[in-house]
């Protein structure tokens, strides 16, 4: 009698389970994802998020690449995809139509976990938030993403916690969306926005001060300055100017509320920084502005290694789902790298995590499988030849 071959069940990856544990800890606080109609969901929220995290973690290049892995890769099919599998139409419907509310809750909770866990690298500077926008190339069918004639782009606006090197807030607009209004939306009480010259606006400087919001913003060197009071500048310092001023031309665009202007020079380049932080020294203002480059490095790393801007959705809703899932993946990596290595996120540790997961699946004996982590497969009928 010859028995039919029954596919072996793959073990879970202990490291992947550990990697996802911070998300698992948030599940009780997440609003339930329910079907809008009478049909049951083909993919629940936990499955949706795991698929999206898997997409970013494994550097898939497209939605088709992801769906192929969910069908053909043993680990992805048994531990990432829904038990009955997921078809392209169902996947597209889910990504473009549901789950964003739940993802934003997860993002907020993970950001709080990471901020509590990671060390504060610059406590003497206060809570600093780098704010910047990044363009995402779209397709011509993305009619909502206006940029210019014959070109479609979206823009993601991110607030980046410079003290803990993690993203903390995110918004999405069309490519021509203004960046300056997002400063007030991103900042919380007691935080300081750190921004580049694109955010220079004297009327906004006045409004931010009236609203009690702090800022450190580089301005154009050609900006007119009316000096109200000079502040002392230490000898042998990179700082060459420190004063209370009004910015702009009187009767045209001059600021109404005095602010502080710090000028410093590094490698022959002069920087002019407008701020309302009078509690910091000029050198500390220069240090805080230098930290703004961390958000530039984050965007570059995030795009390159997590393939966040390889579109798997075309609608504004679906793209926001993809972006938030990419931020969640980064937060999970930040927690993972700190807990296991006391390090910041690096591609070396990401590749190491991928390799460990693959090795565990190859080497773990089947008798060590914990049944509660395995999707039971139906046994094939056994036929005897007579």
Whole-number pLDDT of residue 103: 96
Whole-angstrom Cα distance, residue 251 to residue 266?
A: 34
Q: Mark whether 206 and 266 lie in a shared domain.
A: yes
Is 147 within a domain? no
What is the DSSP track for 167-209? Answer: EEEEEEEETT--STTHHHHH--TTEEEEE-GGG--HHHHHHHH
Query: Which of 248, 276, 304 delimits the end of a domain?
Result: 276
Is 6 within a domain? no
- Residue 363 token pair: 């080497």
Is 303 within a domain? no
Whole-angstrom Cα distance, residue 166 to residue 288?
A: 16
Instruction: For the chain, give the mean pLDDT.
Output: 88
Residues present in the chain in total = 386
199-218 pLDDT, tens digit each: 999 999 999 999 999 999 99
Whole-number pLDDT of residue 83: 87
Whole-number pLDDT of residue 385: 40
Q: What would the mean pLDDT of 167-185 be, rounded to a whole number?
A: 94
89-107 pLDDT, tens digit each: 999 999 999 999 999 999 9
Structural domains counted in the chain: 2
Is 120 within a domain? no
Is 155 within a domain? no
**Percentage, residues of the chain above pLDDT 90:** 72
112-136 pLDDT, tens digit each: 999 999 999 999 999 999 999 999 9
pLDDT confidence band for 373 (50 / 70 / 90): very low
Query: Which of 222, 244, 276 delimits the end of a domain?
Result: 276
pLDDT confidence band for 12 (50 / 70 / 90): low
Whole-number pLDDT of residue 38: 67
Q: Which H or E run includes 6?
A: none
- Residue 318 token pair: 């679906």
45-62 pLDDT, tens digit each: 999 999 999 999 888 888
Buried b / exposed e across 158-192, counting CB within 10 Å, b at 16+?
Answer: bbbbbbbbbbbbbbbbbbebebeebbeebbeeebb
Q: Alpha carbon 289 to chain centroid distance?
A: 21
Is 61 within a domain? yes
3-state secondary structure of 270: strand
Whole-angstrom Cα distance, residue 357 to residue 16?
A: 6
Q: What would the mean pLDDT of 285-295 be, rounded to a whole number?
A: 97
Is 347 within a domain? yes
Q: Domain range spanning residue 258? A: 197-276
Is 56 within a domain? yes
Query: Which of 245, 276, 307 delimits the end of a domain?
Result: 276
């Amino acid at each position: 009698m010859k028995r039919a071959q029954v596919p072996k069940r793959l073990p879970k990856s202990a490291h992947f389970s550990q990697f996802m544990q911070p998300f698992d800890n948030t599940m009780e606080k997440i609003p339930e994802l329910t079907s809008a109609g009478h049909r049951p969901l083909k993919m629940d929220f936990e499955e949706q998020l795991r698929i999206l995290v898997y997409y970013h973690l494994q550097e898939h290049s497209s939605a088709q690449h992801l769906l192929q892995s969910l069908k053909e890769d043993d680990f992805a099919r048994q531990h990432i995809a829904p038990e009955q599998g997921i078809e392209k139409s169902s996947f597209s419907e889910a990504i473009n139509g549901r789950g964003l509310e739940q993802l934003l809750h997860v993002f907020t909770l993970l950001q709080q976990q990471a901020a509590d866990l990671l060390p504060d690298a610059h406590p003497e500077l206060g809570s600093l938030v780098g704010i910047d926008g990044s363009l995402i190339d779209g397709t011509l069918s993305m009619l909502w993403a206006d940029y210019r004639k014959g070109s479609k782009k979206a823009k993601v606006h991110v607030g980046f916690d410079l003290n803990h090197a993690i993203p903390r807030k995110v918004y999405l607009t069309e490519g021509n969306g203004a960046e300056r209004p997002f400063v007030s939306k991103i900042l919380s009480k007691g935080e300081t926005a750190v921004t580049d010259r694109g955010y220079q606006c004297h009327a906004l400087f006045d409004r931010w001060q009236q609203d009690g919001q702090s800022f450190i913003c580089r301005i154009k060197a050609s900006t007119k300055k009316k000096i109200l009071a000079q502040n002392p500048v230490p000898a042998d310092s990179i700082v060459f100017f420190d004063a209370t001023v009004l910015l702009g031309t009187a009767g045209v665009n001059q600021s109404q509320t005095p602010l502080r202007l710090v000028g410093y020079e590094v490698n022959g380049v002069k920087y002019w920084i407008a701020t309302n932080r009078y509690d910091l020294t000029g050198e500390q203002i220069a240090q805080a502005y230098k930290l703004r480059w961390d958000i530039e490095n984050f965007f570059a790393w995030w795009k390159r290694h997590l393939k966040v801007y390889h579109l798997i959705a075309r609608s504004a809703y679906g793209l926001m789902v993809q972006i938030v899932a990419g931020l969640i993946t980064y937060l999970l990596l930040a927690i993972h790298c700190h807990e296991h290595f006391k390090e910041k996120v690096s591609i070396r540790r990401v590749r190491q995590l991928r390799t460990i997961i693959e090795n565990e699946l190859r080497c773990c004996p089947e008798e060590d499988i914990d049944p509660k982590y395995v999707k039971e497969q139906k046994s094939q009928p056994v036929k005897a030849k007579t």
